[in-house]
Copies of this chain bind each other. A is one copy, B any other.
């Protein structure tokens, strides 16, 4: 049987359900309106993969984890670990998700495939300079590497470093 090509871009690597992809799209539109760039599925220095990493105009960094179902949320034991890589941490959920499940100390974004809204801002915990620089570099490399893979697949950057 033919196998699909391995994913080679940040566009859609098959890791997300259609429901999660809709939330992702709304979240990225929200931040784009705020002039903040975003990448998806960014592998952090911890080896964990963040659903959406947002980079603001001034260099501020947010991580957004997408939870499209209660089961998906309950299976997540790792979200606190993302705080070490961002200034603000949010969960993003679809309208059908019971928002009361989301911990008070995380931000909350309600999203669909067209748009999103921040329902609760999280506390800020500003990154130290060295960590901010490392996450920003990783973000830049991932985005530029994915673009290069599209325009010239023979010239791929290593996925992570």
A85 to chain B, nearest CB (A): 15
- Interface of chain A, main secondary structure: helix
Q: Interface on A for B, CB 8 Å cutoff?
A: 9-12, 25, 28-29, 32, 35, 37-39, 55, 57-59, 133, 136-137, 139-141, 143-148, 150-152, 154-158, 161
What is the bound-complex CA distance between A58 and B140, given in angstroms? 12
Instruction: Give the 4 A-B CB pairs with smallest separation, nearest first.
Output: A143-B143, A37-B144, A140-B140, A29-B155
User: How many copies make up the complex?
Assistant: 2
What is the bound-complex CA distance between A126 and B39, given in angstroms? 28
What is the bound-complex CA distance between A157 and B4, given in angstroms? 31
Determine which residue in A55, A59, A141 has the highest number of CB atoms from chain B within 10 A of its CB, and name it.
Answer: A141
- Whether B147 and A55, one on each chain, are in contact in the complex, defined by CB atoms closer than 8 angstroms, is no
